[in-house]
Homo-oligomer: A and B are copies of this chain.
Amino acid sequence: MQNDTWIAAAHMGTSLRVWVHAEGVVTPLLAQVGGTVTEAALLELIHSHLRPDAVTPVICAGLDVAGFVPVPAPPPNTAVAVESGDPRIALLAVQGLSQQKPADLMGAQAVQVAGFVDAFPDWDGVLCLTGPQSRWVHISAGEVVSFQTYLTGEMFGLLGRQSVLGEAVQSAAQDEAAFAQAVSDAMSRPERVAGALYSLHAAVRAGAARADARGRLSGMLIGTELAAARPYWLGQNVALIGEGGQVARYGAALQAQGVPAQIHDGAEMTLRGLQQVRAKLV
C-alpha cells in the first residue's frame, strides 16, 4: 500500500483536483474546468504522470457517467470501472448520491462525506459541505439519511461578477460586521432579501464602502441559506467541510446562532474519501 501507484481525482464545481500517489509521495494538481469533466480534461492534467509500460488506476469522483445511489445509503466506499480511451489508465468512477423527494443529487462532494465518516465513524449529526453548491447532509449510524443542496456560492459568484451589483462588490476585503448584520437580517426576515440586493449598488453609488457591500451580499445569501436549512442544523451536532474564507463565514454565521461547528478542510476530506475507496479496492 505504501508504494501503491494510483491517481485520485475529484471534480467539484469548476475545479478538477488530482492527487498523484507514487513511491509513497502524494502530489496534488489542480485545474479549472467548466461544465462536466471529460476524460480529455483529466488526461491533460495527469498525462505527464502516466507510464507507457504500466496501467495506472485513476479513481475519480464527480464523473457524470458514474450514476447515483439513492439515500438512505452509506457514503461511497467503492468505485466502478468505466471505459477509458487511454490504455495507460484504468478509470474507476465513484458514484454520487441521489434523493427522490425533495429531488436532489450529490456528485463528488459525496467523497467528502465518505472521508469524514472514515475519520469519525461514530459521529452522528449534520455536515455542511460548502462550495459553489453547498449541501447539508444528515448523517446517522454512518449513513447519509437525507441532504439538501443550495446554490449560495454560485449565486454569490454570478451576482458579484456578472450582475448590476458587480461593480459595488468589487473588493478584496469583506467587512465582517456588515456580514454578521446581514446574516442576522436575512435569517429574521428572509422575504426581505430580494428587495435589499439592489440597494447594495445604490448605497455604493451614494458613497458606501465596497467591502461593506461585499460583506452584506455574502451575509444576505448565507443568511438566506441558514434560514432555509434551519431544520437541518437546529439542535444538531454540526461539522463544516470546505475551504478558505467561505467555510469560515459559514462557521461565523452558525456561531452567531449559538451553533458551534467544527471545521474540516475540503481538499483533505476529499482525498481521505478517495483513499478509503482505494484501500477497499486493493
A residues sitting closer than 8 Å to B (CB atoms) are: 98-100, 102-105, 132-133, 148-152, 154-155, 158-159, 162-165, 190-199, 201-203, 205-206, 208, 224-225, 227-229
Dominant SS at the A interface?
Answer: helix
Q: What are 10 A-B contacts with C-beta separation under 8 Å?
A: A104-B199, A149-B202, A151-B164, A152-B194, A154-B164, A155-B163, A158-B162, A158-B163, A162-B162, A194-B225
- B163 near A154: Cβ-Cβ < 8 Å: yes
- A102 near B191: Cβ-Cβ < 8 Å: no
Starting from the known contacts A102-B196, A103-B202, A191-B224, 11 additional A-B residue pairs (CB-CB under 8 Å) come to A102-B195, A103-B203, A105-B198, A133-B198, A148-B195, A151-B164, A151-B165, A191-B228, A192-B228, A194-B224, A195-B225
Copies in the complex: 2
State A104–B202 Cα separation when bound (angstroms): 5
By a CB distance below 8 angstroms, the chain B residues around A196 are 102
By a CB distance below 8 angstroms, the chain B residues around A208 are 103
State A196–B148 Cα separation when bound (angstroms): 9
By a CB distance below 8 angstroms, the chain B residues around A192 are 228
State A158–B161 Cα separation when bound (angstroms): 11
Minimum CB distance partner of A149 in chain B: B198
